[in-house]
Amino acid sequence: MAETPEEQEAVMQKWMGWFESIGPSILDGGNPFGGSIAVSSGGTTGETTTQLTGYTIVESESLDAAASLVSKCPVLSTGGSIEIFEAMPM
Where do the structural domains in the chain lie, given as residue ranges? 1-29+52-90
CA angle 38, 55, 61 (to 5 degrees): 125
Comparing 70 with 49, the larger pLDDT belongs to 70
Confidence (pTM): 0.81
Backbone angles phi, psi at 2, to 5 degrees: -65, 140
Comparing 3 with 86, the larger pLDDT belongs to 86
- Using the predicted structure, report yes or no on whether residue 48 has a pLDDT greater than 90: no
pLDDT digits (tens, 9 = 90+) for 52-61: 889 999 999 9
Number of Cβ within a 10 Å radius of residue 55: 13
Q: Which amino acid is at 90?
A: M
